[in-house]
Structure 1
Amino acid sequence: MKIWSRLKKLSIKQLLNLGVVFIQRPLLIRPTLKATSKTMSISQKEFGSAQHKNGKPNAFRHALWNILLANVAYTKNEAAATDWAEQVTTLHEKLAPNAPLETVMDLHNNMVGRQFFSETLDLSEKELIQFLKEKSSNAKQITKVEDVERYPNELVYI
Protein backbone atom coordinates (compact mmCIF):
# COMPACT_ATOMS: atom_id res chain seq x y z
CA MET A 1 0.00 0.00 0.00
CA LYS A 2 1.42 3.39 -0.99
CA ILE A 3 0.38 4.97 2.31
CA TRP A 4 2.72 2.72 4.29
CA SER A 5 5.66 3.31 1.96
CA ARG A 6 5.09 7.06 2.31
CA LEU A 7 4.94 6.79 6.12
CA LYS A 8 8.31 5.02 6.15
CA LYS A 9 9.88 8.03 4.42
CA LEU A 10 8.71 10.56 7.03
CA SER A 11 11.09 12.12 9.50
CA ILE A 12 10.52 11.85 13.25
CA LYS A 13 9.17 15.42 13.29
CA GLN A 14 6.77 14.66 10.45
CA LEU A 15 5.58 11.47 12.19
CA LEU A 16 4.99 13.47 15.37
CA ASN A 17 2.92 16.02 13.44
CA LEU A 18 0.89 13.19 11.97
CA GLY A 19 0.46 11.62 15.41
CA VAL A 20 -0.81 14.88 16.91
CA VAL A 21 -3.58 15.09 14.33
CA PHE A 22 -4.67 11.47 14.70
CA ILE A 23 -4.42 11.32 18.50
CA GLN A 24 -7.20 13.93 18.62
CA ARG A 25 -9.59 11.55 16.84
CA PRO A 26 -8.13 8.03 16.87
CA LEU A 27 -11.39 6.45 15.73
CA LEU A 28 -10.97 8.28 12.43
CA ILE A 29 -7.60 6.73 11.54
CA ARG A 30 -9.00 3.69 9.75
CA PRO A 31 -11.89 5.56 8.03
CA THR A 32 -9.43 8.25 6.92
CA LEU A 33 -7.15 5.64 5.37
CA LYS A 34 -10.15 4.02 3.66
CA ALA A 35 -11.37 7.39 2.33
CA THR A 36 -7.89 8.10 1.02
CA SER A 37 -7.68 4.72 -0.68
CA LYS A 38 -11.16 5.14 -2.14
CA THR A 39 -10.22 8.57 -3.48
CA MET A 40 -7.20 7.13 -5.26
CA SER A 41 -9.20 4.20 -6.63
CA ILE A 42 -12.01 6.37 -8.01
CA SER A 43 -9.57 8.89 -9.45
CA GLN A 44 -7.54 6.14 -11.10
CA LYS A 45 -10.67 4.60 -12.58
CA GLU A 46 -11.96 7.93 -13.88
CA PHE A 47 -8.70 9.52 -15.08
CA GLY A 48 -5.82 7.04 -14.93
CA SER A 49 -2.38 8.53 -14.39
CA ALA A 50 -3.61 12.00 -15.43
CA GLN A 51 -4.79 12.48 -11.84
CA HIS A 52 -1.13 12.72 -10.76
CA LYS A 53 -0.39 15.64 -13.04
CA ASN A 54 -1.51 19.21 -12.28
CA GLY A 55 -4.55 19.28 -14.54
CA LYS A 56 -8.29 19.04 -14.07
CA PRO A 57 -8.19 15.38 -12.94
CA ASN A 58 -5.91 16.42 -10.06
CA ALA A 59 -8.45 19.08 -9.06
CA PHE A 60 -11.14 16.37 -9.11
CA ARG A 61 -9.03 14.12 -6.85
CA HIS A 62 -8.34 16.83 -4.27
CA ALA A 63 -12.00 17.86 -4.08
CA LEU A 64 -13.14 14.23 -3.84
CA TRP A 65 -10.63 13.47 -1.09
CA ASN A 66 -11.87 16.36 1.03
CA ILE A 67 -15.50 15.37 0.57
CA LEU A 68 -14.82 11.73 1.45
CA LEU A 69 -12.74 12.73 4.50
CA ALA A 70 -15.51 15.04 5.68
CA ASN A 71 -18.01 12.22 5.12
CA VAL A 72 -16.13 9.84 7.43
CA ALA A 73 -15.94 12.50 10.16
CA TYR A 74 -19.53 13.71 9.78
CA THR A 75 -22.00 13.04 12.54
CA LYS A 76 -24.23 16.08 12.96
CA ASN A 77 -21.71 18.88 12.69
CA GLU A 78 -20.62 19.85 9.16
CA ALA A 79 -18.02 22.30 10.48
CA ALA A 80 -16.32 19.61 12.56
CA ALA A 81 -16.35 17.25 9.59
CA THR A 82 -14.80 19.76 7.22
CA ASP A 83 -12.31 20.75 9.93
CA TRP A 84 -11.12 17.14 10.03
CA ALA A 85 -10.71 17.09 6.24
CA GLU A 86 -8.78 20.35 6.43
CA GLN A 87 -6.45 19.07 9.15
CA VAL A 88 -5.64 15.88 7.24
CA THR A 89 -5.18 17.43 3.81
CA THR A 90 -3.22 20.44 5.03
CA LEU A 91 -0.92 18.13 6.95
CA HIS A 92 -0.47 16.08 3.78
CA GLU A 93 0.66 19.19 1.91
CA LYS A 94 3.19 19.91 4.67
CA LEU A 95 4.50 16.34 4.70
CA ALA A 96 4.76 16.04 0.91
CA PRO A 97 5.67 19.54 -0.21
CA ASN A 98 5.45 20.63 -3.83
CA ALA A 99 6.52 23.72 -5.71
CA PRO A 100 4.70 26.86 -4.44
CA LEU A 101 2.19 27.05 -7.31
CA GLU A 102 1.33 23.35 -6.98
CA THR A 103 0.91 23.70 -3.22
CA VAL A 104 -1.39 26.71 -3.58
CA MET A 105 -3.41 24.85 -6.22
CA ASP A 106 -3.76 21.76 -4.01
CA LEU A 107 -4.71 23.73 -0.90
CA HIS A 108 -7.22 25.75 -2.91
CA ASN A 109 -8.82 22.64 -4.43
CA ASN A 110 -8.94 21.03 -0.98
CA MET A 111 -10.80 24.10 0.33
CA VAL A 112 -13.24 24.11 -2.60
CA GLY A 113 -13.86 20.40 -2.06
CA ARG A 114 -14.80 21.14 1.54
CA GLN A 115 -17.14 23.87 0.29
CA PHE A 116 -18.83 21.26 -1.90
CA PHE A 117 -19.31 18.92 1.07
CA SER A 118 -22.70 20.24 2.19
CA GLU A 119 -23.95 20.26 -1.42
CA THR A 120 -23.04 16.61 -1.84
CA LEU A 121 -24.21 15.06 1.44
CA ASP A 122 -27.24 13.38 -0.10
CA LEU A 123 -25.61 12.26 -3.34
CA SER A 124 -24.86 8.67 -4.21
CA GLU A 125 -21.27 7.83 -5.12
CA LYS A 126 -22.17 7.87 -8.81
CA GLU A 127 -23.86 11.28 -8.46
CA LEU A 128 -20.90 12.62 -6.46
CA ILE A 129 -18.47 11.55 -9.16
CA GLN A 130 -20.63 13.15 -11.85
CA PHE A 131 -20.94 16.36 -9.80
CA LEU A 132 -17.17 16.60 -9.37
CA LYS A 133 -16.46 15.70 -12.99
CA GLU A 134 -18.64 18.61 -14.02
CA LYS A 135 -16.99 20.96 -11.52
CA SER A 136 -13.50 19.87 -12.56
CA SER A 137 -14.30 20.17 -16.26
CA ASN A 138 -15.03 23.85 -15.55
CA ALA A 139 -11.84 24.34 -13.49
CA LYS A 140 -9.90 27.51 -14.15
CA GLN A 141 -6.28 27.49 -15.22
CA ILE A 142 -3.82 29.42 -13.09
CA THR A 143 -0.26 30.44 -13.91
CA LYS A 144 0.78 32.23 -10.74
CA VAL A 145 0.04 31.92 -7.02
CA GLU A 146 -2.10 35.08 -6.92
CA ASP A 147 -4.48 33.67 -9.56
CA VAL A 148 -6.32 31.47 -7.05
CA GLU A 149 -7.81 34.57 -5.42
CA ARG A 150 -9.85 35.16 -8.59
CA TYR A 151 -11.61 31.81 -8.21
CA PRO A 152 -12.68 31.45 -4.55
CA ASN A 153 -15.43 28.91 -5.27
CA GLU A 154 -14.01 27.07 -8.27
CA LEU A 155 -11.48 24.34 -8.80
CA VAL A 156 -8.20 25.35 -10.42
CA TYR A 157 -5.39 23.65 -12.32
CA ILE A 158 -1.98 24.49 -13.73
Structure 2
Amino acid sequence: MPSIRMGIRSLLKRLSFRQILKLTRIMLQNPLLVYPTLKATRTTMIICDLHYGKAHHKNGKANAFRHALWNILICRTTFRITKNKEKSVSWAQKITDLHEKLAPNKPLDTAMDLHNNEIGRTYFLELTASSEEEIVIFLKENTKKAKKVTDSKEILDHKDKLVYLLEVDTGS
Protein backbone atom coordinates (compact mmCIF):
# COMPACT_ATOMS: atom_id res chain seq x y z
CA MET A 1 0.00 0.00 0.00
CA PRO A 2 1.51 3.35 -1.01
CA SER A 3 2.21 5.76 1.81
CA ILE A 4 0.32 8.99 2.31
CA ARG A 5 3.57 10.86 1.65
CA MET A 6 3.93 9.24 -1.81
CA GLY A 7 0.34 10.15 -2.65
CA ILE A 8 0.90 13.75 -1.64
CA ARG A 9 4.06 13.98 -3.75
CA SER A 10 2.22 12.56 -6.74
CA LEU A 11 -0.63 15.04 -6.29
CA LEU A 12 1.68 18.02 -5.91
CA LYS A 13 3.54 17.16 -9.12
CA ARG A 14 0.27 17.49 -11.06
CA LEU A 15 -0.73 20.85 -9.58
CA SER A 16 0.02 24.32 -10.86
CA PHE A 17 1.66 26.86 -8.56
CA ARG A 18 -1.71 28.62 -8.15
CA GLN A 19 -3.40 25.34 -7.17
CA ILE A 20 -0.64 24.59 -4.64
CA LEU A 21 -1.16 28.03 -3.08
CA LYS A 22 -4.90 27.45 -2.79
CA LEU A 23 -4.36 24.04 -1.17
CA THR A 24 -1.76 25.50 1.21
CA ARG A 25 -4.07 28.33 2.23
CA ILE A 26 -6.89 25.92 3.10
CA MET A 27 -4.53 23.68 5.05
CA LEU A 28 -3.07 26.60 7.00
CA GLN A 29 -6.57 27.75 7.98
CA ASN A 30 -7.18 24.41 9.74
CA PRO A 31 -3.83 22.66 10.28
CA LEU A 32 -5.22 20.28 12.91
CA LEU A 33 -7.65 18.84 10.36
CA VAL A 34 -5.04 17.97 7.71
CA TYR A 35 -3.75 14.71 9.21
CA PRO A 36 -7.25 13.35 10.04
CA THR A 37 -8.28 14.17 6.46
CA LEU A 38 -5.30 12.30 5.03
CA LYS A 39 -6.00 9.39 7.36
CA ALA A 40 -9.66 9.31 6.27
CA THR A 41 -8.56 9.37 2.63
CA ARG A 42 -6.20 6.43 3.12
CA THR A 43 -8.83 4.46 5.06
CA THR A 44 -11.36 5.13 2.31
CA MET A 45 -9.03 3.71 -0.33
CA ILE A 46 -8.25 0.63 1.77
CA ILE A 47 -11.94 -0.10 2.38
CA CYS A 48 -12.86 0.47 -1.27
CA ASP A 49 -10.01 -1.75 -2.50
CA LEU A 50 -11.14 -4.45 -0.07
CA HIS A 51 -14.81 -4.34 -1.07
CA TYR A 52 -14.62 -3.38 -4.75
CA GLY A 53 -11.09 -3.94 -6.05
CA LYS A 54 -10.25 -1.52 -8.84
CA ALA A 55 -13.92 -0.99 -9.77
CA HIS A 56 -14.15 2.07 -7.49
CA HIS A 57 -11.88 3.94 -9.92
CA LYS A 58 -14.55 3.75 -12.61
CA ASN A 59 -17.86 5.64 -12.66
CA GLY A 60 -20.07 2.86 -11.35
CA LYS A 61 -21.75 2.17 -8.03
CA ALA A 62 -18.40 1.44 -6.36
CA ASN A 63 -17.24 4.96 -7.22
CA ALA A 64 -20.42 6.39 -5.67
CA PHE A 65 -19.66 4.33 -2.55
CA ARG A 66 -16.09 5.69 -2.45
CA HIS A 67 -17.10 9.34 -2.70
CA ALA A 68 -19.77 9.00 -0.02
CA LEU A 69 -17.49 7.01 2.28
CA TRP A 70 -14.66 9.52 1.82
CA ASN A 71 -16.89 12.36 2.95
CA ILE A 72 -18.31 10.41 5.88
CA LEU A 73 -14.84 9.47 7.08
CA ILE A 74 -13.43 12.99 6.68
CA CYS A 75 -16.36 14.30 8.72
CA ARG A 76 -15.97 11.54 11.28
CA THR A 77 -12.21 11.95 11.81
CA THR A 78 -12.33 15.74 11.93
CA PHE A 79 -15.37 15.70 14.23
CA ARG A 80 -13.13 14.18 16.91
CA ILE A 81 -11.18 17.44 16.81
CA THR A 82 -13.84 20.05 16.00
CA LYS A 83 -16.53 18.53 18.26
CA ASN A 84 -18.88 20.30 15.85
CA LYS A 85 -20.78 18.48 13.08
CA GLU A 86 -21.29 21.59 10.97
CA LYS A 87 -17.57 22.51 11.07
CA SER A 88 -16.62 18.98 10.08
CA VAL A 89 -19.16 18.92 7.25
CA SER A 90 -17.96 22.34 6.05
CA TRP A 91 -14.33 21.18 6.10
CA ALA A 92 -15.16 17.99 4.19
CA GLN A 93 -17.00 20.02 1.59
CA LYS A 94 -14.06 22.43 1.19
CA ILE A 95 -11.60 19.58 0.75
CA THR A 96 -13.68 17.42 -1.56
CA ASP A 97 -14.87 20.37 -3.68
CA LEU A 98 -11.24 21.44 -4.00
CA HIS A 99 -10.30 17.92 -5.04
CA GLU A 100 -12.85 18.09 -7.85
CA LYS A 101 -11.37 21.40 -9.01
CA LEU A 102 -7.76 20.21 -8.81
CA ALA A 103 -8.42 16.88 -10.55
CA PRO A 104 -11.00 17.91 -13.13
CA ASN A 105 -13.18 15.39 -14.93
CA LYS A 106 -15.81 15.66 -17.61
CA PRO A 107 -18.72 17.84 -16.41
CA LEU A 108 -21.08 14.89 -15.83
CA ASP A 109 -18.41 12.96 -13.90
CA THR A 110 -17.78 16.02 -11.72
CA ALA A 111 -21.50 16.54 -11.12
CA MET A 112 -21.83 12.90 -10.06
CA ASP A 113 -18.85 13.13 -7.72
CA LEU A 114 -20.04 16.38 -6.12
CA HIS A 115 -23.51 14.87 -5.62
CA ASN A 116 -22.16 11.67 -4.02
CA ASN A 117 -19.83 13.73 -1.82
CA GLU A 118 -22.83 15.70 -0.59
CA ILE A 119 -24.81 12.52 0.05
CA GLY A 120 -21.89 11.25 2.14
CA ARG A 121 -21.87 14.40 4.26
CA THR A 122 -25.63 14.06 4.76
CA TYR A 123 -25.22 10.42 5.78
CA PHE A 124 -22.53 11.47 8.29
CA LEU A 125 -25.13 13.51 10.16
CA GLU A 126 -27.21 10.33 10.55
CA LEU A 127 -24.23 8.09 11.36
CA THR A 128 -22.19 10.18 13.79
CA ALA A 129 -22.29 7.56 16.54
CA SER A 130 -21.89 4.56 14.19
CA SER A 131 -18.81 2.37 14.00
CA GLU A 132 -16.78 2.15 10.81
CA GLU A 133 -18.22 -1.31 10.17
CA GLU A 134 -21.79 -0.04 10.60
CA ILE A 135 -21.05 2.83 8.22
CA VAL A 136 -19.73 0.46 5.55
CA ILE A 137 -22.78 -1.82 5.90
CA PHE A 138 -25.16 1.15 5.73
CA LEU A 139 -23.37 2.59 2.74
CA LYS A 140 -23.22 -0.73 0.87
CA GLU A 141 -26.99 -1.08 1.28
CA ASN A 142 -27.52 2.42 -0.05
CA THR A 143 -25.08 1.79 -2.89
CA LYS A 144 -27.30 -1.07 -4.06
CA LYS A 145 -30.11 1.51 -4.39
CA ALA A 146 -27.97 3.98 -6.36
CA LYS A 147 -29.53 5.39 -9.52
CA LYS A 148 -27.91 5.36 -12.93
CA VAL A 149 -27.90 8.77 -14.62
CA THR A 150 -26.98 9.88 -18.12
CA ASP A 151 -27.01 13.66 -17.71
CA SER A 152 -26.59 16.30 -15.01
CA LYS A 153 -30.29 17.16 -14.88
CA GLU A 154 -31.15 13.59 -13.85
CA ILE A 155 -28.94 13.95 -10.79
CA LEU A 156 -31.35 16.58 -9.46
CA ASP A 157 -34.10 13.92 -9.48
CA HIS A 158 -32.13 11.87 -6.92
CA LYS A 159 -31.34 14.35 -4.16
CA ASP A 160 -31.30 11.66 -1.45
CA LYS A 161 -29.66 8.80 -3.39
CA LEU A 162 -26.22 7.98 -4.67
CA VAL A 163 -25.85 8.16 -8.44
CA TYR A 164 -23.54 6.51 -10.96
CA LEU A 165 -22.84 6.59 -14.69
CA LEU A 166 -21.65 3.13 -15.72
CA GLU A 167 -22.58 -0.47 -15.06
CA VAL A 168 -19.30 -1.90 -13.78
CA ASP A 169 -18.69 -5.42 -12.52
CA THR A 170 -17.63 -4.95 -8.90
CA GLY A 171 -17.34 -8.57 -7.92
CA SER A 172 -19.39 -7.79 -4.77
TM-score range, shorter chain: over 0.9
Match of 2:104 among 94, 97, 108: 97
Aligned residue in 1 for 2:30: 25
Is structure 2 residue 20 aligned with structure 1 residue 8? no
| Aligned mates of 1:9, 1:96 — CA distance in 2 | 9
For 1:77 and 1:126, locate their aligned partners in 2 and report how far apart those are by CA, in whole Å.
22
Following the alignment from structure 1 to structure 2, what is the Cα–Cα distance between the partners of residues 127 and 70?
15
Name the TM-score, length of structure 1 as normaliser.
0.97
Runs of 4+ in 1 over 6 A off after TM superposition: none
In structure 2, list runs of 5 or more residues that go unmatched.
Answer: 1-5, 166-172
The normalised TM-score by structure 2 is 0.89
User: Counterpart of 1:84?
Assistant: 91
Deviates more, 1:52-61 or 1:27-36: 27-36
Shift of 1:46: 0.6
Q: Which of 59, 63, 73 in structure 2 is aligned with 1:68?
A: 73
CA distance in 2, matches of 1:66, 1:3: 18
The one-character-per-residue Cα deviations of 1:122-150 (angstroms, maximum 9, x if unpaired) are 11111111000011111000000111100
Matched, 1:116 2:120: no
Q: Larger deviation: 74-83 or 124-133?
A: 74-83
Please tell me whether residue 45 in structure 1 is matched to residue 50 in structure 2: yes
Q: Distance in 2 between matches of 1:21 and 1:134?
A: 34
Match of 2:155 among 128, 140, 148: 148
Q: Which amino acid aligns with 1:119?
A: E
Instruction: Give the alignment partner of residue 125 of structure 1, picking from 112, 127, 132.
Output: 132
Any unmatched runs of 5+ in structure 1?
Answer: none
Alignment size in residue pairs: 158
Show CA shifts across 1:72-108 (max 9, x none). 2213321111000000000000000000000000000
| Matching residue's letter, 2:45 | M
What is residue 3 of structure 2 aligned with on the other side? none
Whole-angstrom distance in 2 between the partners of 1:10 and 1:132: 32
1:4, distance to aligned residue in structure 2 (A): 2.2
